[in-house]
A and B are shown apart, each in its own frame.
Chain A
Amino acid sequence: MAIKLLKRLVTPTLMMGWAIYYFIEICGKKASAGYFIKPIFWVMALLYCLIVFMDARDCRDEAEAEKTADSPEQRQAGEEKAAAQRADLKRTAICIGSAFAYIFILPYLGFILSTTLVLFGLFWWLGSGNKLLTFVYAAGVALGMYLLFKTGLKVPLLTGFLGFI
């Protein structure tokens, strides 16, 4: 139950943690910096306490319901839900990792090469079959986007070691 509660409280605690850091910073500045921020912070702190209380109550109720749920179907449903959550987390981690890698390599490889590589990787991961065709699709989309943003919309896209793409 405690682990479940901690998991639930990760997001509001992160938000509250930043709010505390911000509040402390504001307290060290001129009074006018906190006219609006300070009351907002206190209401937020109050709501955080309420969220902790509500989540603790929900976790307790769920734990009690689990204790009474003895049937194999219910257990199987619970396991399936947990497996789906794990798969979702893995997929999201891959997506975030790809996005981060893309942003990281952009200034080194330039827009066209980076976009082609990332698109190819993601197309392939999501089940696109023929590798050559997948690469052609990826390169085509990258080139199309380059023409749209660089030539059409005059966006100064990042250029890599080749200096022009």
Chain B
Amino acid sequence: MEIVLQGFRTVLQPHYLVFMFGGVALGLFIGFLPGLSGGMGIGLMLPFTFHMEPLTALVFLCSIYTGGIFGGAVTAILLNTPGAPANLSTVLDGYPMARNGEPERAMGISLMSSTIGGIVGTIVLILLAGPLARLSLKFGPGEMFFVAIFGLTVVGSLADNVVKGVFSGLFGILLGTVGLSAGGILRGTMGSVYLMDGIPEIPALLGLLALPAIYELSGRKSAVLKVDTMSAGMASLRGLLRGFRDTFQRIVQSLLCSLLGVVVGIIPAAGSAIAGMLGYNWSKNLSRNSDKFGTGVPEGIVGPESANNASEGGALATMFVLGIPGSTATAMMLGALALQGWAVGPKMFIDHADVIYTAFSSLFCQQFVMLLLGAGLCLLGARLVKIPVKYLMPVILVFAITGAYSSSYLRFDCNLLIFFSVLGYLMKRSGFPAMPMILGLLLGGMADTELMRIHQLFDSFWEIFKSPIVIILAAVSLLSVMLPFIVKEVQRRRRS
């Protein structure tokens, strides 16, 4: 405990505060740009950290990471464009709430939920980093396969029409398996070398969600349906505070989703997108307002935003203790530590415990910095949607195309973006939800790879059920599928 308190004393010095504010501001800004995430911000700043002392570098990079996740939520709410995959499910209720004339409230809920999630994630990281990360070492192909299946169980509940939702999700899973398989077999690339690594996530995400919304925007005068008649500044501030209050009224939900996020975060490669999705799904299944999800209910923002920010703590625990990066951002951070000449792993906790725990303490403080700077971004963002569509829509379109290009500097990704936007538009017109398809795309490849490994390592598929973790994950997956039906049945009986 003494080492943690010492860490707080260190990071509250002006030198580290400057880097914390700078890093969070940079992360918020980069996360706000469609297609760019905190991971890219870390990559961008990597060369600069070489000249910094290790702790400063670590504090700075963690700050970018913290800001990046929330920055993406602002565009998800305002423009139906998730800044990063982590903010995918925030779109579902955040955007309808913003369209109904309450963008500030939606952003307020998102900001406060992100802060609570971040705080819970950091506390868990400080207290349980070691045991939690060692637990993740027990995850073999069987466990990882069921992690992917657990994530995929959400697809049915992301649409009003379950059949169309599942069909769309299965199509996404097939798309997710395109590219070079774990067994070295090339599949579905149609001869394109650019698809050997699989279908890139950013163009698919922007094409399926953002661009159809932009096309729709061109037919409207204003980005929001109702514009508040109060003076802009006061209305924004009131809306933001109302969002904070909404979150505190759902504090139990926020805390539970945060814990779920931490657990998902510690699993290598599971990532904040799955955490957000599961946070949304479980909130929907257990909420009394489950039938109103997707129309702009606060619970639909609290769940995913608490979970995706809390997953950050879990992912960092796995990275620091085991040296396994769970996402692009943690992989970049691992690179930064390697630049400093540090070997990340259990030995690091013995050799550099002071630096590690000081970085954890800084993560705690960064949540409050994010709350402060994030409020500023929300107020600025609320003004953004009030810009006339004739100027707003073309700029977002060009930003989305440049964002898709920036992810891997390929024009092919821009063409893919247009292809997915056409598909997204057609799906929207025919009532096929895009969200299950995106989830399938994100998790399909992982499930396929792990199943292949199971076939290579075990004589029979059923052998994986010897592991208690697999049994628990399979049971939770089954429960995740059955829960909506059970809840509906219970509600029906109560009514009758």
Contact = CB atoms under 8 A, between A and B. Distances in A.
B215 to A, nearest CB: 4
A87 interface: yes
B124 interface: no
B218 A11 contact: no
Contacts of A43: 170
B411 A106 contact: yes
Interface string A9-25: 01110110011001001
Given A29-B185, A47-B170, A126-B390, A99 B163 contact: no
A91 B218 CA distance: 7
B177 interface: yes
A60 interface: no
A14 B452 CA distance: 28
A141 B395 contact: yes
Contacts, number: 156
Contacts of A36: 173, 177, 444, 447-448, 451-452
Contacts of B395: 119, 141
A145 B402 contact: yes
Given A19-B171, A98-B397, A103-B411, A25 B218 contact: no
A37 B177 CA distance: 8
Interface stretch (B85-93, B377-385, B426-434): B426-434
Contacts of A106: 411, 414
Contacts of B452: 32, 35-36
Q: By CB atoms of chain A within 10 A, which of B211, B414, B417 has the most?
A: B414
A137 B432 contact: no
Interface string A128-165: 10000000010001000100010001111110000000
A10 B426 contact: yes
Given A11-B427, A29-B185, A29-B187, A95 B174 contact: no
A30 B183 contact: yes
Interface in B146-195: 163-164, 166-168, 170-171, 173-174, 177-178, 181, 183, 185, 187-188
Contact of A149 (B177, B406, B423, B430): B406
A100 B417 CA distance: 10
B210 to A, nearest CB: 11
A123 B181 CA distance: 45
B9 interface: no
A98 B44 CA distance: 31
Interface residues of B, number: 60
Interface string B192-230: 000000000000000000010011101100000000000
B418 to A, nearest CB: 6
B417 to A, nearest CB: 8
Given A100-B418, A122-B397, A91 B215 contact: yes
B434 to A, nearest CB: 11
Given A22-B188, A37-B174, A44 B215 contact: no
B391 A32 contact: no
Interface string A29-48: 11011011100110110011
B395 to A, nearest CB: 6
B455 A35 contact: yes
Contact of A44 (B44, B170, B415, B451): B170
Contacts of A141: 395, 398
A95 B215 contact: yes
Contacts of B183: 30, 32-33
Contacts of A156: 409
Contact of A48 (B36, B167, B398, B430): B167
A96 B401 contact: no
Contact of A12 (B36, B215, B414, B430): B430
Contact of A102 (B166, B391, B398, B409): B398
B394 interface: yes
A88 B390 contact: no
Contact of A103 (B216, B418, B430): B418
Contact of B432 (A12, A35, A88): A12
B432 A119 contact: no
B185 A33 contact: yes
B163 A51 contact: yes
B422 interface: yes
B247 interface: no
A12 B173 contact: no
A102 B401 contact: yes
A51 to B, nearest CB: 6
A74 interface: no
B399 interface: yes
Nearest to A29: B185
A49 B256 CA distance: 40
B421 A99 contact: yes
B425 interface: yes
B393 interface: yes
Contact of B397 (A32, A50, A51, A99): A99
Contacts of A8: 430
B181 A33 contact: yes
B389 interface: yes
A118 interface: yes
Contacts of A149: 402, 406
B57 to A, nearest CB: 19
B44 A153 contact: yes
Top 6 A-B residue pairs of the complex, sorted by shortest distance between their CB atoms:
A122-B394, A126-B390, A11-B430, A36-B448, A33-B185, A44-B170
5 contacts: A37-B448, A44-B171, A47-B166, A95-B214, A99-B211
Given A8-B430, A18-B174, A119-B395, 7 more contacts: A25-B188, A33-B183, A36-B447, A43-B170, A91-B215, A155-B409, A157-B402
Interface of B: 30, 36, 40, 44, 163-164, 166-168, 170-171, 173-174, 177-178, 181, 183, 185, 187-188, 211, 214-216, 218-219, 389-391, 393-395, 397-399, 401-402, 405-406, 409, 411, 414-415, 417-418, 421-423, 425-427, 429-430, 432, 444, 447-448, 451-452, 455
